[in-house]
Each structure stands twice: as C-alpha cells, then as structure tokens.
Amino acid sequence: MFEEFASLLGLTQFALLYVSSVGGLVCVFLFILGRSIRISREQSVLLDRKDAELALQWRAMEAHAMMNVSDAAGRMVEVNDTLIRASGYSREELLGRRLTEFLMPDDNSPTAVREALELMGYWTGETKLRRKDGGVFWTRTTIVAARDRNGRLERTVSLRTDITEIKARQAEAQNRALLDRLNDEVYVFAADTLQLLYLNRRALAVQGWDNSGYGGRTLADTTEGFDDAVFRDRVAPMLAGETEAMTYESILRGRPVEISLQLEDGYEGRARFIAVVRDISLRRQAEEARSQFVATISHELRSPLTSVLGALKLVTSGAFGQLGKKPGAMLGVALRNVERLIDLINDLLDLEKLDAGRMTFSMTRIDMSALVDEALAANSCYGDQLQVQFRRTGLRAVREIEGDRARLIQVLNNLLSNAAKFSPPGGQVEVELRDAPGALQVLVHDHGTGIPPAAQAHLFERFAQADGTNGRRPGTGLGLSIAKSIVEQHGGSIRFTSTLDVGTTFCVEFPTPLSLSQAA
C-alpha cells in the first residue's frame, strides 16, 4: 500500500511540474516528498513525521485538481473526487471508460496527446469535456506517460484544472471587442433591477460616458423620460418565458430607432437583457423617398392616362358617331390596354402601401351578405362581356364581420373577375356565403380551366398569374397578392383548391365579431 502510494507520487510529482496553476510550492514540496520516499526505508521515521504534511498537501491537490490514472489501453483505473464532482459522473461510471469518450466533438486533442506522449512523454494543453448533465467544462491538462523497461506504455496520469470560467470570460471579452466595432448601441442590463452591466463603445459615446461611468446607473439613466412601467409591460412576455426576443421601433433622442431585445441567463445565473439599438433614420428616409417616388410617378402617369382613357372611351362609346368595324376593334385594343395600365398603377400603389404598413383600414361592422350582392352587381357587366353568369348560393341572411368596406369589395372584385376570366364562355360562377366555426366564409367556385399544379405553389406571389385567360383581358398578376394581404390584415385567411379542366374554388375566411372579441 505504501509502495503503491509512493509509486503514484513518483508520477504525480512529474505531472505537477506542468500544472502551473497548482502552485509551484505544492509541486516542489511533493516532488521532494516523493524523492524522499524513495531514498530509503531507513528514513521512514522522518517520513512518519512528514505524513501529516503529506496528507495535507495531497488534500490540497485533491481539492484543486482533477486527476485520473489510465491503463495502457486508456481506460481509467483511478479517478479522484474533484474529477467526479466536476464531471457529475460517479466513480463507477468513470472507471473502465476512456476519458476521450467524454470529450466534446470539437475537441481534437487526442491526436496531439498521442504524438506528444510518444515524443516527449507528456502533454500539456486544454480539453473540452462534457458533463453528465450535458454541460461543458474546460480544463487545463497535463498528461504524463509511464513506460516499462522496454519502453511500453504502462499507464498515464492526467491532472486537470477547471478553466471553464476563464474560457467564458475570454469568450465574453472577445464578444465585447466585437460589439465595440458595431455602429449600433449595445446595452446589457440586469432583468430585475435594470442596472447597466455593459455598454459597447457606441453606446458609451452616445451617452457621453466613459468606460467606468455606468457602474451604478440603470436603464432609466440612458433615456430621458424613461417610463419604468411601460418598459416592464413590454418585456413581461419575455420574463414570463413566452418569447426570448423581441424587436420594436421607437423614437430615442428625436431619432427613429429599432430596438432588439434578448433575454438570457448571465454567468452568475442572473437574467439579463441585451438591447441593440439601431438608428433607422436613413432607412426611414429611404422608405419615405420610395413612397414619395411611387406616389409621384403614379400621379404623373394617371394624368395622361386620364386623357387617353377618356378620349378612347368617348370615341368607342359612339359619342361622336359609329366607328367602322376595324377602327373600332383597334381602338378597343387601345382601350383595354389603357385600363390594364391603370389597374397596374393602382395595384402598385396598393402594394407600396401594404409594404410600408401605410394602408389604412377604416373598420366597421359590415353585412357580408349585402357586400357579396354588391360585388355581384359590380361584376355582372364584366361577366356579361365574357358570357359568364354569376349565381349566388348558400346563406342569404345577414352575417356581420369587422372590416374595411372598400378593401373587402376590392378582394371580392378580384376573386369574381378572376373566376369569370378563367371560365369558358357560357360558364357559370357560384358565389357562396357560409358559416364556419368562429368564422364566415365566402367561396367562389368556377368551372374553368383550373390552375396548373406547378403554378399553385406560387399563386399568391407577385406577378405569378398563371396562363389560361384564353386570350381575354390579362390581369396585373398582383391582385391575389394584394387580396391575400388585405384578408390577412382583417385577421382572415385565403386558400383555394383547383383541378385541371374541372375548376377552382377560392375560399376567403373572416373571423366573426364574436370570435374576435373572444380572441382579444
């Protein structure tokens, strides 16, 4: 027993030399002790006197460093309590297994260890290990090889110091160095007290503080007129664990900003917020310029189109007498295409408004049943032109939803005109109103060509109109995309089913006022 202990120390003393953080004194002392143990049994009396100190030093090493002894095959034959505590595994779970089994997949140290043991008899480096609970712990490690007289590997002794916290701090320092390079302001603050824990360089510059100047300050010190209650209301879903991140726009120091908030656990287990504040003045200016550009262009286009459309309509309507067949047909072509251009301009304006979130909806209670009648009346003339008949089916009773009347008419017009356009002459389009659980549905059935499967996936995308208008008035390819956006702004949904040469059914579903109030 004593000899085993002495032999173990012989290896240990050597290993300890390479563990700087163990402390030089401990190493030297144990080294001397190890040697003295081997000197002679006659000096055992002296050693006896040293036993207490030896045990003390051993305990110090035990407390500080993780240790394992492995056999020639790399299987652990001895592990100390510190390694057991750090890894979370029991002694029984560790013994007989190779330590490499506990390395994280991105730890490439085994190759280096083998080569160093072969060449030099020891290896020092860092290892990244997996705890039983799935966590990671980093160690500074020295492994020493013991060989027999023939140079065959007998065993290795590994000493490890936990450097997880140092690695975490290094990573955080690197992250902070990166954050300092950002043009966005970054604030890290405690979730409970809102005390500032970190500001990046940009945030410090904006606040006019130096690096040490925010120690006792809180988030309230960063913004004039900061309302604690409003902020806590806003982040309540994050603190309740409903969401980990949120982004919102605000005005800070007179400038529009986008604020991204993230909640995370700090190293001390104390929840903290990371806020990234981005100045979006330039983005806003660009959006404003684009919006202005679209509005101006559309106005500038509409004025000449008013003249062209007006002149063509007057001439083709016979206001100046009947036209010959050919000139009439040619002017008809011109008229249809002017109308198409006007549709396109209107659709582009709508899309611009939807994209910019500037389409306003004046919501009122609307009887969908009456609205369907209105849409049918508005489209009957178009149906007549295409020799397509509209027929109302399903519910006829009053059914109210919350909506914007003009926009809902726009959606119905789109669906009805599409259905007529894709129907054969002499065809029929049924418009059905029906109840659904918590919702009201309008279905538009046509018996036309159907939508090719390849086109179905992209039907609501812009400019995605499928072929098959049979040479009739083509659309802008924007109508369904706009209809979908409008329906979704109403909290509803739009979908379709289609079979080639059988027909297509579009279904628009709106929540009924009762389900809306329940959802609220």
Partner 1 sequence: MTQTPRILHVEDDPDIREIALVALEVVGGLTVDQCASGPEALQRAPGIAPDLLLLDVMMPGMSGEDTLAGLRAMPQFADTPAIFMTAKAQPAEVEKLRQLGAAEVITKPFDPMTLADQVLAIWERSRAGG
- Interface residues toward partner 1, by CB under 8 A: 295, 298-299, 302-307, 309-311, 313-314, 317, 319, 342, 346, 349, 353, 360, 362, 406
Nearest approach in angstroms of CB 306 to partner 1 is 4
Nearest approach in angstroms of CB 271 to partner 1 is 43
Q: How many CB atoms lie within 10 A of CB 396?
A: 11
Which residues does residue 141 pair with via DSSP β-bridges, in sequence order? 125, 160
Nearest approach in angstroms of CB 299 to partner 1 is 5
Pairing of strands 389-394, 428-436: parallel
Residue 174, classified by CB atoms within 10 Å of its CB into exposed (0-12), middle (13-18) or buried (19+), is exposed
Nearest approach in angstroms of CB 351 to partner 1 is 13
Phi-psi region of 397 (alpha: psi -120 to 50; beta: other; left: phi over 0): beta
What are the tokens at 266? Answer: 């700090």
Nearer residue to partner 1 within complex by CB, 300 or 435: 300
Nearer residue to partner 1 within complex by CB, 298 or 505: 298
Nearest approach in angstroms of CB 336 to partner 1 is 14
What are the tokens at 228? Answer: 């604690």
Q: Kindly compute the dihedral angle of the four CA atoms of residues 98, 104, 106, 112, in this order, to the nearest 10 degrees.
A: -30
Nearer residue to partner 1 within complex by CB, 28 or 289: 289
Pairing of strands 76-79, 122-130: unpaired
Nearer residue to partner 1 within complex by CB, 140 or 407: 407
Are the CB atoms for 484 and 505 separated by under 8 Å? no
Nearest approach in angstroms of CB 201 to partner 1 is 42
Residue with structure tokens 């040697």? Answer: 35
Helix (H/G/I), strand (E/B), else coil: 218: strand
Phi–psi pair at 479, nearest 5 degrees: -55, -45
- Alpha carbons 517 and 365: distance in angstroms, whole number: 13
Which H or E element spans position 506? strand 503-511
Nearest approach in angstroms of CB 314 to partner 1 is 5
Nearer residue to partner 1 within complex by CB, 99 or 359: 359
Nearer residue to partner 1 within complex by CB, 69 or 341: 341
Which H or E element spans position 443? strand 439-446
Nearest approach in angstroms of CB 292 to partner 1 is 12
- Alpha carbons 498 and 496: distance in angstroms, whole number: 7
Nearest approach in angstroms of CB 318 to partner 1 is 10
Nearer residue to partner 1 within complex by CB, 129 or 349: 349
Nearest approach in angstroms of CB 340 to partner 1 is 13
Nearest approach in angstroms of CB 298 to partner 1 is 7
Residue 505, classified by CB atoms within 10 Å of its CB into exposed (0-12), middle (13-18) or buried (19+), is middle
Residue 349 to residues 308, 356, 411, 417, Cα–Cα distance (Å): 20, 11, 16, 20
Nearer residue to partner 1 within complex by CB, 296 or 499: 296
Nearer residue to partner 1 within complex by CB, 397 or 406: 406
Nearer residue to partner 1 within complex by CB, 35 or 358: 358
Are the CB atoms for 194 and 220 separated by under 8 Å? yes
Nearer residue to partner 1 within complex by CB, 43 or 364: 364
Mind giving me the DSSP string for 169-193?
HHHHHHHHHHHHT-SSEEEEEETTT
- Alpha carbons 309 and 172: distance in angstroms, whole number: 66
What are the tokens at 438? Answer: 């918590």
Nearest approach in angstroms of CB 304 to partner 1 is 8
**491: closest CA among 408, 415, 406, 418?**
408
**89: closest CA among 102, 77, 100?**
102
Nearer residue to partner 1 within complex by CB, 234 or 302: 302
